Every structure is written in C-alpha cells, then in structure tokens.
Copies of this chain bind each other. A is one copy, B any other.
C-alpha cells in the first residue's frame, strides 16, 4: 500500500536527505488576493507594474509660484520682478488651465504645474505686493515680487521621473513591507496578489500531558510543544491551527485527525509518539498509511517521520517530530521551517548562518550532526553554549539565540574553533 519500512531498514538518513524529503512534500502554496493592509509580511506573487506613471503629472516640489523662467532672467534680491498672480493652484485642483503670459500662478506642493510654466519659485524667494514675506492674503488676485531668476525646470517634479507607466515596480517574490505597500497604493492598487500562507495543523500527543493552568499530578507534565510549534509555524510565515490532547488510541487518533484534515490543511505536524517506545500513537496510526518512520543521523531529533498520510480517501503532507521539546523545536528549524518558507515563496527560506568561534570546548557523538543551543556574542564573534546536549532542557533553549551546527564527523571542537551558527532571531 505504501513505501513504509524501507527507510528504517536502510539505516539512518542524513539531515540533508530528510530535509529534501520534507521539502518535497510541500508544493507551492498558491496565490490569493488580499487588501493592501493585509499584505504586510506577505510575498508578492506577480510583478507589480505601474498602471500610472509616478508622479502621474508634472507637479510642484515647493509651495510658491509657477513661472515662465524666461520672464525672470533679470530678477534678484536687489532688483525683484513684480508680476500679476493670475491663478491659484492648490494641491488636488483638477481644472488647471495654461499659465497666462506675463503672469505667475500661486501653487502648492504637489499641485499640477500649469501648461506654459517651466519653473517654480519657492515662496521664500518672493515678497507679496504689500512688501511682506510669505503668501499674501490675495490668493490668485494680487501681485508678487520675485527676487530670484529660476533655472528652467527648477522645483518641477516631472511626470514619470520616479517610474514610467507600465514599468515593473516590484518583482514577484518581493516580501512586502511598508514602503512596498505604499508604492502599490500610489499606483492605485487597492489589493495585491500574494502567495497563500500554508496552513498547518499542529498536533501534540501524549497521555502525560496536562493543559497549562490546570493542576499537575505526579508523573504529568504541561503540554508545551503544540503551543510552541504553532508559534514557530506563524513566525515562519504560515498559519497554524492547534489540536492538542488527541487520544492515544490509534483508531480514535485517526478519526480525530480525519475530521480536521480538510482541503485547507497543507501540512499535519505532530510531536511525540514516534520513538521506540511501546506506546507510540503517531507511529502506530500512520505506519502503513503513507508515512515512513526512521532515524536521522542528528542530535537532538533522531527519530523522525514524514510522508503523505492516507486518511479517509485523501492524503495530506505529514511530518512527525519527536516529543522532547528541544528535539521538537530543533527539528522544526532544520526540516519544517525551510520547507514552509520555500512553499510560501519567501526568498530566504533558511536562517542566516554566520561563522563564530566557540567560547568553550564541545564534544559531539560520532556520525551524528549535532545542533547545540548557543548565545552569540556578535561583537567578539564568539558563541557560547547554553545548557547542554540534553533534549529536555527547554529553559536553556529559551535563552538561546542561535544553533551551533556541528558536522556529523565532528567528535570534539575546542574553544576558539570556528563553527557554523544559525541565527534564530526572536
């Protein structure tokens, strides 16, 4: 029925092999149209072209007067030229006629330059006809003394000088922030076509789990993986829905899952129930139904699984993470986050990687790629381990800002040695 069992029989996968297997499960997430305000942080799905030129028309860069430069060649502070103000052009005026020869038009920043005018004189270089500085009270009816000879084109913003009509403003794949969304608005777009966010159903299993806020009996622990992974999924640019406290009974587990897996779920992400124990509900419910389980040569996070889960006549991409919280989040970082971001079209699916020198000695098991939790000192270029290798040390994990990536062949690394460091951000 499925290819199950081949992985575990063929020995552990490398990290890169399992990364590729997980990435192959997730197709491109498709596209959707969203209003501008909802496009922040999303990935543009199609080139944004300029439906109009920017600016759309010649306009004034200053508050002042639109003039014919040739009529002011002799003007200076000592010898101002006085002209009649034949028009008043506020920003937004839509019925501006040509500038009458021998006159000027009062004009505000952003207002359309009238035909015939070829320069703007800022108000600071004028005197109103009553001798004062600034705009006179007369609006378009008085006279003005101009104390400068402007160059042709002075303070005129030409139509299309920022972008020609039809130009590609933003390429598909651009991550949209404030300035990109502002630009889309400036060319009249009320919405944008963006990549859809993959939707992830996050499950955590384990009969030892209790909801935070409830009393804890001896032997029980608080459920933390589901909430943690849902946050990590959203930080990765996907959406998350959480399904906690699913039954440990295999048939009930499959039934609960079938109810929730509908067309909108792009990935089922589980934690726990995949190792060598006698009670492994995830493994038991999915083995033989399209999901393969086996070992990855890494630490933490050795026991892994992935595949297309067959469920109620359909299939859904599924990744099963181990249940220890550190194993769970590190596996998410290594396998799931890059796959989700690639599916959502982000140009940077992987975390930034830098090189730093170890602050202390580390040992690492032979044949396993190890990801230790670290704190980077960017100023000195060093990285110090927080906690130790234990996959249950969630308090230490929460103080880490990076992962130290030790290759499989490394068995020891001394203080001062350069190592690759994945920057986790917050």
Interface residues of A (CB under 8 A from B): 36-37, 40, 50, 52, 54-57, 61, 63, 90-96, 106, 108-112, 123-124, 134-135, 139, 157, 161-163, 167, 169-170, 175-191, 206-209, 211-214, 216-225, 227-232, 234-235, 242, 275-279, 323-325, 329, 387, 390, 392-398, 400, 424-426
A276 near B134: Cβ-Cβ < 8 Å: yes
Question: How far, in angstroms, from A191 to B278 measured CA to CA in the complex?
Answer: 34
CB contacts (< 8 Å) of A223 on chain B: these are 185
B394 near A206: Cβ-Cβ < 8 Å: no
Q: Within the complex, what minimum Cβ distance (angstroms) separates A165 from chain B?
A: 12
B390 near A91: Cβ-Cβ < 8 Å: no
Question: How far, in angstroms, from A177 to B214 measured CA to CA in the complex?
Answer: 23
Q: With A92-B208, A109-B275, A212-B188 in contact, do A178 and B219 touch (Cβ < 8 Å)?
A: no
Task: Identify which of B57, B212, B213, B278 contacts A106 (C-beta below 8 A).
Answer: B278
Question: How far, in angstroms, from A112 to B219 measured CA to CA in the complex?
Answer: 5
CB contacts (< 8 Å) of A227 on chain B: these are 36-37, 181-182, 185
CB contacts (< 8 Å) of A167 on chain B: these are 395
CB contacts (< 8 Å) of A93 on chain B: these are 208, 219
CB contacts (< 8 Å) of A36 on chain B: these are 212, 227, 231
CB contacts (< 8 Å) of A229 on chain B: these are 178
Which of A135, A209, A325 counts the most B-chain CB atoms under 10 A from its CB? A325
Q: Within the complex, what minimum Cβ distance (angstroms) separates A142 from chain B?
A: 12
B63 near A278: Cβ-Cβ < 8 Å: yes
Question: How far, in angstroms, from A219 to B111 measured CA to CA in the complex?
Answer: 6
* A-B residue pairs in contact (CB < 8 Å), sample of 9: A63-B276, A157-B390, A169-B398, A179-B400, A180-B398, A182-B225, A182-B227, A185-B224, A186-B224
Task: Identify which of B96, B139, B162, B177 contacts A278 (C-beta below 8 A).
Answer: B139
Name A134's closest neighbour in chain B (CB-CB). Answer: B276
Name A139's closest neighbour in chain B (CB-CB). Answer: B278
Task: Identify which of B40, B220, B230 contacts A231 (C-beta below 8 A).
Answer: B40
Which of A36, A61, A186, A393 counts the most B-chain CB atoms under 10 A from its CB? A186
CB contacts (< 8 Å) of A276 on chain B: these are 63, 123-124, 134
Question: How far, in angstroms, from A265 to B410 measured CA to CA in the complex?
Answer: 56
Q: Could you say how many copies of this chain the assembly holds?
A: 2
CB contacts (< 8 Å) of A180 on chain B: these are 398
Question: How far, in angstroms, from A283 to B208 measured CA to CA in the complex?
Answer: 63
B218 near A112: Cβ-Cβ < 8 Å: yes
Question: How far, in angstroms, from A182 to B330 measured CA to CA in the complex?
Answer: 13
Q: With A213-B190, A275-B109, A426-B177 in contact, do A182 and B224 touch (Cβ < 8 Å)?
A: yes
Q: With A37-B231, A207-B90, A278-B106 in contact, do A163 and B395 touch (Cβ < 8 Å)?
A: yes
Q: Within the complex, what minimum Cβ distance (angstroms) separates A366 from chain B?
A: 17
Name A122's closest neighbour in chain B (CB-CB). Answer: B276
Name A234's closest neighbour in chain B (CB-CB). Answer: B40
B211 near A135: Cβ-Cβ < 8 Å: no
Name A107's closest neighbour in chain B (CB-CB). Answer: B277
B279 near A108: Cβ-Cβ < 8 Å: yes
B55 near A177: Cβ-Cβ < 8 Å: no
Task: Identify which of B106, B162, B323 contacts A395 (C-beta below 8 A).
Answer: B162
CB contacts (< 8 Å) of A54 on chain B: these are 394-395
A212 near B224: Cβ-Cβ < 8 Å: no
Task: Identify which of B94, B219, B275 contacts A217 (C-beta below 8 A).
Answer: B94
B398 near A37: Cβ-Cβ < 8 Å: no
CB contacts (< 8 Å) of A185 on chain B: these are 212, 222-224, 227-228
B211 near A190: Cβ-Cβ < 8 Å: yes
A92 near B178: Cβ-Cβ < 8 Å: no
Question: How far, in angstroms, from A26 to B298 measured CA to CA in the complex?
Answer: 49
